[in-house]
Structure 1
């Protein structure tokens, strides 16, 4: 069995290959610029780990892992446009550097390249792989739309928010693990367990991501801290604050959502701290981690094969970047 770090190193080396045709540098240059930023590569490595949980890693898994990473980066380019984000991984976003039209097209060609890699899969489960991939891609789009819809609403329930982040974030992590498991020959029951493990881990991961957006170190986090606050996103932090704040704090929050004072981030964070939102978030994150670990425990393989996934889960929810 390989650790996450070992597989990350192997995948990063594999992913260095060119993914686009020669020519049209004004299109493929920005796409390569984005890919060269690097990233955590969590999802593609999860494909490999999902495979190795049940069998030795197959060549098809490298194709699917590459497709997953290209699809993920496609969504990030488009998300940055919709969020008007100036930075990604500490560098200028594609639309900031090259303009929105080129950023849109660069994301589009990444999606096309992802399907090129999926088309190289030789396994008998090819059609199932495509179905899972397409269903997940559709769900990610639904989650992003809900995320934008929430910006226009005065109130969003915690239940609705969790549904949104499940679609936008956690289903891709869950599907990555399931795709690897399918290629590794896992049965239906084990596929469901590893998918649910990934889904709950993805929610915990997103809670930590939202927490870091508000309370993280911008140097370590690599993104603009307070970006969600500036774009008025209805994150779980804001939802919880509105549920627990007193009347004066609620009124102040609503006024801040409708304005952009220079110290907006600082004012909102002060209310969050007063309401204990940061502590509540850390508790909620831990609850989803424990649920994920129970699903991992339910998978019918020997415990030592699960150790790399357990280690990854614990790392993801304790990271500070």
Structure 2
């Protein structure tokens, strides 16, 4: 069994050694740039850890795992363009470093490269792997559209939000785990359990992101706290604050949501104070723990010896105890 640190080194080395020898260079350079910016590499690591539950030598499925990482970074490239974000992982985004047209076209090519890389697996599993990847990619687009639709709505329900983050975030973690299991010749039952495990972990992970955006340490978090509050992003926290507020609290919340002109620090402080009064932090932490516990129970049911699951268990524990 490999440790998660060893697997991460294999993933990073693999990404560094990917060849971009097609022309024109101006199309492929932004792709190389995006994949060189670092990141936690959670999806390929989960895929290799999942494979390693059932088989040794997870490096044998490295290329499809790099395909998932390529796909994930493609979605970030286009997200940054849609959000008009200037910085990603401390570096200029592609549309800032180059321009919007480059971001669109290089992103399109990145999606095709992702498919090419995912397809580099043995023929026995190819159809299943591509079906899973295609369904996942469609769902992520659906999740992004729901997220965009929510921007113009003030009546988003908690269930709708959870489904949106399931599509936008969870299904790719779930896909990584199931793909690793399939390539490791796991039973259909174990592959499905690992998919559902990934869904629950993904929901907990995204809700933790929402929490850190309000209550994280800006020095550790890597960006200014309160971005979701400033942009009125319909998060689990805002939705529940609106639904659980008394009349006075709701009126103040709506004033901040509807304000066209405001001092950023003042708005973040005021909305955070309302969250504290309404008990939103505790509510969110309870929901995170609930999903995490459900995930752990699903992992327990996977039919491999407990000691083989230890590396994956420790890795997902570390994902849940982060500050950024």
Q: TM-score, normalised by structure 2?
A: 0.94
Residue 38 of structure 1 and its aligned partner are, at CA, apart by: 0.3
Which residue is 1:234 aligned to? 234
Q: Out of 280, 285, 298, which is 2:283 matched to?
A: 280
Structure 1 unaligned runs (5+)? none
Establish whether residue 315 from structure 1 lines up as the match of residue 318 from structure 2.
Answer: yes
Which residue is 1:76 aligned to? 76
Which residue is 1:33 aligned to? 33
Residue 151 of structure 2 contacts residue 233 of structure 2 at CA under 8 Å; is this kept in 1? Answer: yes
Change (3 A) 1:22 1:125: closer
Spell out, residue by residue over 1:248-282, the C-alpha distance to the aligned partner (whole angstroms, 9 max, x if none). 22122222222241232222222222222112111
Distance 1:224 1:25 in 2: 35
Q: TM-score, normalised by structure 1?
A: 0.95
Tell me how large the CA RMSD over aligned residues is.
1.6
Residue 118 of structure 1 and its aligned partner are, at CA, apart by: 2.4
Structure 2 unaligned runs (5+)? none
* Structure 1 ranges of 4+ moved more than 4 A: none
Change (3 A) 1:260 1:9: farther
Distance 2:30 2:216 in 1: 28
Which residue is 1:121 aligned to? 121
Which residue is 1:302 aligned to? 305
Distance 1:58 1:123 in 2: 17
Residue 22 of structure 1 and its aligned partner are, at CA, apart by: 4.2
Residue 70 of structure 1 and its aligned partner are, at CA, apart by: 0.2
Residue 34 of structure 1 contacts residue 94 of structure 1 at CA under 8 Å; is this kept in 2? Answer: yes
Establish whether residue 261 from structure 1 lines up as the match of residue 262 from structure 2.
Answer: yes
Residue 106 of structure 1 and its aligned partner are, at CA, apart by: 2.2
Which residue is 2:216 aligned to? 216
SS in 1 for 2:289: helix
* 293-302 or 24-33, larger mean C-alpha shift: 24-33
SS in 1 for 2:152: coil
Aligned length: 321
Residue 65 of structure 2 contacts residue 118 of structure 2 at CA under 8 Å; is this kept in 1? Answer: no
Q: Out of 289, 294, 300, which is 1:291 matched to?
A: 294
Distance 1:161 1:306 in 2: 31
SS in 2 for 1:125: helix
* 235-244 or 112-121, larger mean C-alpha shift: 112-121
